[in-house]
Structure 1
Amino acid sequence: MSASNQEKDSLVKTITQGTIYITAAKLYFIVSSYAIYFALPRLISSELFGIYGFVISIVSIINVVLVTGTQQTVSKFVSEDFRKADSIKKQALKLQTIIASTITLVYFFSAPLIANIFNDPALIRPLQISALIPMFYSLYAVYVGYLNGQRKFLPQAILDCTYSTLKAAGIIILALITSSVNGAIFGFGVAVIIAFLLAPFVSGQSTNQEKGKISVTTFLKFQSELLGAILVSNLLQRADLILIKKYISTDSVIANQMAGYYTALMTIAGVTYQAIVSVAFIIFPIISKASFEQQKDEVKSYIRQITKYTFMLMALSATVFSSNARVVLEVLYNKEYTIGAEALTIAAYGLMFFGLIYILTTIISSSGKPRISLIVAVITLAFSISINILLISATTIAMFIGVLLASIYIYLIFKACFNLKSVISVSIAVICMYLVNNILPDTLINLFPGKLNIIINLMFHIGIQTSSYLIALIITRELTSYEFNLIRKVIKV
């Protein structure tokens, strides 16, 4: 076997192993998140759950911006030269301490202002408590980026699972003890601090290291543009919830209840997005290194494969939740929350398009152009706000526009993006899922009591729908022997 073939096989092995590890960690994250959102409505009132959802939405904008921005920035520079990984990590920790401290203090003292904007003084204390979270979360992210940049995906997955466990335990236990939203949010903060303290032990140190520094200006320029893009993207993801809280009612109790219902349905719809986040973790350091080394053909090949399979997986996930919206809400929450079923049928596809934007802008940013990602996100957010003011939960249209803009840019630069045949094939498969769902009776089996019977019937529906989806893809030749051989290789790894 030639050296080039050995290198290619090694890369395939790294990608497949990484996909397994990070996907497993993300699935665990989803399960632990659902444990939180399953438990909290039973531990606190729907009004307090609405406050929790709103506060977490606000702090999550800061969290995801700092965490993702820091992780991807560290990953980019580490991926370009593994030998300087430890030096880059130390430098990043110093810089991030200054950046995170500043942002955390501004956020803490802005709590009364935020509460005043939304006409709800009950938000002040929960917002101030949540200021614990971004400070330590962003420092934790340095270690994630350090591992990701070196393609050490197994330790990265272990670190993520540790954090997910601590987060779920902290929130649920303190909500149970205190029966308050403040306790739940404080539990989140404690979990992040513990995860940060454990991170150095999980990540360890690299071998064959050289001393060296990256330019602070270069680091901060890339990070600031990336932070801007991620900030706007997360505002885009949460704009509808914020607008509901602001405009749905002048009565803060009603506004919080509606925010609680919307938080519930968007948590479910978010599975469509979360299911593919692991792909972004894998592709970022790989495309970053290939772009840095001017490997144009490799980058083009990565883009074609990534866009094909992410769209295929996300369309399946979105259709499952969209076509079974009422039953899913009833199973995961209770009948009170089925008021959001109609919105969930649309929101599932909105989050699918948001996931595609996330993947496309990850490709753009990892190739060294985070400013373009920022521009795409700003334009999409402007459309989203304009549309949502007229019609709450119409974000799906804006998300589609964002996908279109990012796709056009990627195609112009790399001559590769979504394949028209793939889009048509997946669309046909989605239609088949809806047809099957409409033909099937609501109750296929009636052997078990109450909610258990509903759950079993839901699983049968999803299984039959998924089978119809896969059969349609095989008939249209979107799934071929190549994909099945690839799956066999992944299983063998």
Structure 2
Amino acid sequence: MSRAEPPLPSPSSSPPQASPSAPAGPSGPPASPPAPDAQAATVRAAGRGGLAIAVAKVSFILFGFVQQLLLPWLLGVDGYGALSIVLADVSVVNNVVVATGIQGVSRAVASAPAGEVDVAFGRALRLHALLAVVVAAGFFLAAPFIAAFVKAPHVVMPLQVASGVVLLYGTYAPLVGGLNGKRRFVAQAGLDIGYGAIRLCAIAAGVVLFVRAGHSGVLGATAGFVTAAAIIVPIALLVAGVGRVGRVEQRAEAGSWMREHLSFLLPLAISQAFLNLLMQTDLNLFRRLVGEAAGSLGMSSQAADTLTGAYRGMQLFSFLPYQLLMSVSFILFPLLAQAKAGGDAEAVRRYTRTGVRIAMVLTGLLCAPIAGLGPHVLRMAFPVEIWSQGGEALRIHALGMGAFAILGILCAALTSLRQERWTAALTGAAAVCVAVGCLIAVPRAPFGPQMLMHSAAATGAALLVAALAAAVLLRLVAGDVVAKGVPLRVVAAIALTVALGTRLPWLGKLLVPVEAAGLGLVYLALLALFGELGRADLATLKQAFGRRRKA
């Protein structure tokens, strides 16, 4: 919920941890190579589906960017920091609910016989709605303990209100999973775009209304978040339907189906929980550590919230590569899962190599301009309390989140190859490493911007190690999945682009996007110079997105 910036996940997008539609096909003899026309049609369909999801991702991120631009001014930087903790913690649960809802229902629908698709959809939808009630109640009860851990008792009520989002997402995600399983990517993308606009308006309106009434703006923003989710659910019901109840003999098989379905969901949920804890470990520990530091210095919780707001502003841009790579996961890795189920080893290798290479190139394209222009990027979007404290730390954090984006796509490939347990172990170990690094590094810094620098460095180092471990594991599972020169060329292009970006002067807010675009072109030119990009890539794009020629 792809996700959307992580604290505000998109309910029609799951993190690229697993295949959104991995049909469970029976084992059989290796599939024969597809005919050229069939293969071209597959590439074209995947490309257009990916384009629809990518457009939705970009739109959702743009809505999120406008929202993040408004919130510090509406709430103040301290209120923005407090709200960030609320949204970060609810996203840990939401993203698990979304991932299991989309991927579980998509899998059930995609693997159902042609005449039983609606029955499979209805059965899965009812089960996931029930699970949503249980999880939402658990989050409501856990809110006081979460607030105590992060040393922010004033966010208990907003956390409890946010449990309503967990409940509604638990209904919405299975509906989107049904669309995904039916390959209705355009409808899925339409919901994503519509929800992004609704959420932006509802959260901003909630802040304004609550502040004018003399209440907490943080609580108003949370209430707006719940309202947006409540609006999109009935719209999704109209688009996706509710399936239908099976015949008596089908209902008799429901117990067996439920056990099999839950056995698929459990490792996925554990893996997603580790992944989303990893995404929010640094922010939560940062709030706890700065809260302790502020208390020891006799400062108020407002000072800790302000510093947390600066850290959250930095995160907003660092997570962009991760978000935009979701389209690769949604489209490419279902093909990988199908190839694995059909025993097509060559297709497995081809899809994996393609996905990993695309992920590396796109990650560099996004990370390099952000890292190079770190202070300028934050100054363009946020008040002085954020960019003056978080600008330099963004350079480090953006590169660390680039490693996280690669880790996400490698885990997506591993899960598609039915290595969910290894994926969970990798992300869990990475979360532990981030936690240990932050607990050691952050308290050593004086209260202020240096705490952001230390946290960014500790987080980035842990994520880099995790990404390297995932690459080694994927190589053991799927063979040589990336040419050795690819990461070297990408890293070299990133380093040179960032070095150039650090030399660019501040020319005003309107010219920051121009500078970023220029750095992006420099990065692509360097890859072309190094021989990483060429005519073959252009031909693939034309095949994927070009018009079908008439016979």
Shorter-chain TM-score: what band? over 0.9
Residues 1:369 and 2:419 aligned together = yes
**Residue 153 of structure 1: how far off its partner (Å):** 1.1
Alpha-carbon displacement from aligned partner over 1:172-201 (angstroms, at most 9, x marks no partner):
111122221111111111111221111122
Question: Which residue among 262, 266, 273 is the counterpart of 2:322?
Answer: 273
Paired with 1:438 and 1:47, the residues of 2 have a C-alpha distance of 29
Corresponding letter in the other structure for 2:68: Y
1:203 alignment counterpart: 240
1:449 alignment counterpart: none
SS of match in other structure, 1:171: helix
1:240 alignment counterpart: 282
- Count how many residue pairs are aligned between Structure 1 and Structure 2: 481
TM-score (norm 1): 0.93
1:96 alignment counterpart: 128
Corresponding letter in the other structure for 1:194: I
Residues 1:464 and 2:518 aligned together = yes
1:69–1:239 distance in 2 versus 1, CA, 3 Å: same
Paired with 2:420 and 2:482, the residues of 1 have a C-alpha distance of 21
Paired with 2:56 and 2:227, the residues of 1 have a C-alpha distance of 21
1:468–1:89 distance in 2 versus 1, CA, 3 Å: same
**Residue 78 of structure 1: how far off its partner (Å):** 2.6
**Residue 459 of structure 1: how far off its partner (Å):** 3.0
2:23 alignment counterpart: none
Comparing 358-367 with 16-25, which one deviates more in the overlay?
A: 358-367
Residues 1:173 and 2:173 aligned together = no
Paired with 2:535 and 2:72, the residues of 1 have a C-alpha distance of 46
Paired with 1:340 and 1:355, the residues of 2 have a C-alpha distance of 21
**Residue 435 of structure 1: how far off its partner (Å):** 4.0
1:415 alignment counterpart: 479
2:444 alignment counterpart: none
5 Å-filtered alignment, 1:312-327, equals 312-327=361-376
Corresponding letter in the other structure for 2:514: F
1:409–1:71 distance in 2 versus 1, CA, 3 Å: same
**Residue 17 of structure 1: how far off its partner (Å):** 0.2
Q: What's the RMSD between the two structures over aligned residues?
A: 2.1
C-alpha contact (below 8 Å) 1:151/1:285 kept by paired residues:
no
5 Å-filtered alignment, 1:299-318, equals 299-318=348-367
Paired with 1:148 and 1:198, the residues of 2 have a C-alpha distance of 16
1:55 alignment counterpart: 86
Residues 1:183 and 2:214 aligned together = no
Residues 1:161 and 2:211 aligned together = no
Corresponding letter in the other structure for 2:346: D
Comparing 482-491 with 468-477, which one deviates more in the overlay?
A: 482-491
SS of match in other structure, 2:62: helix
SS of match in other structure, 1:303: helix
**Residue 129 of structure 1: how far off its partner (Å):** 0.6
1:446 alignment counterpart: none
Question: Which residue among 329, 333, 343 is the counterpart of 2:393?
Answer: 343
2:257 alignment counterpart: 215
Corresponding letter in the other structure for 1:332: A
Corresponding letter in the other structure for 1:80: S
1:111 alignment counterpart: 143
% identical equivalent positions: 24
1:229–1:85 distance in 2 versus 1, CA, 3 Å: same
C-alpha contact (below 8 Å) 1:76/1:366 kept by paired residues:
no
Residues 1:292 and 2:329 aligned together = no
Which stretches in structure 1 are left out of the alignment for 5+ residues?
444-452
Paired with 1:346 and 1:230, the residues of 2 have a C-alpha distance of 25
**Residue 206 of structure 1: how far off its partner (Å):** 9.0
1:425–1:138 distance in 2 versus 1, CA, 3 Å: same
Comparing 118-127 with 294-303, which one deviates more in the overlay?
A: 118-127
**Residue 88 of structure 1: how far off its partner (Å):** 2.2
Corresponding letter in the other structure for 1:361: C
SS of match in other structure, 1:133: helix
SS of match in other structure, 1:477: coil
Paired with 2:243 and 2:166, the residues of 1 have a C-alpha distance of 27
C-alpha contact (below 8 Å) 1:144/1:156 kept by paired residues:
yes
**Residue 355 of structure 1: how far off its partner (Å):** 1.3
Residues 1:258 and 2:307 aligned together = yes
Greater per-residue helix proportion:
1
SS of match in other structure, 1:72: helix
2:176 alignment counterpart: 144
Residues 1:431 and 2:495 aligned together = yes
C-alpha contact (below 8 Å) 1:43/1:175 kept by paired residues:
yes
1:230 alignment counterpart: 272
2:50 alignment counterpart: 19
Corresponding letter in the other structure for 1:62: V
C-alpha contact (below 8 Å) 1:82/1:150 kept by paired residues:
no
Which stretches in structure 2 are left out of the alignment for 5+ residues?
1-32, 212-216, 296-300, 442-454
Corresponding letter in the other structure for 1:297: E
1:477 alignment counterpart: 531
C-alpha contact (below 8 Å) 1:229/1:370 kept by paired residues:
yes
Paired with 1:50 and 1:27, the residues of 2 have a C-alpha distance of 25
Residues 1:406 and 2:470 aligned together = yes
Paired with 1:108 and 1:324, the residues of 2 have a C-alpha distance of 40
Paired with 2:275 and 2:497, the residues of 1 have a C-alpha distance of 30
5 Å-filtered alignment, 1:437-456, equals 437-438=501-502, 440=504, 442=505, 454-456=508-510
**Residue 398 of structure 1: how far off its partner (Å):** 1.1
Paired with 1:82 and 1:53, the residues of 2 have a C-alpha distance of 44
C-alpha contact (below 8 Å) 2:45/2:544 kept by paired residues:
no
2:160 alignment counterpart: 128
C-alpha contact (below 8 Å) 2:94/2:166 kept by paired residues:
yes
**Which of 1 and 2 has higher RCO (CA within 8 Å, sep 6+)?**
2
1:448 alignment counterpart: none
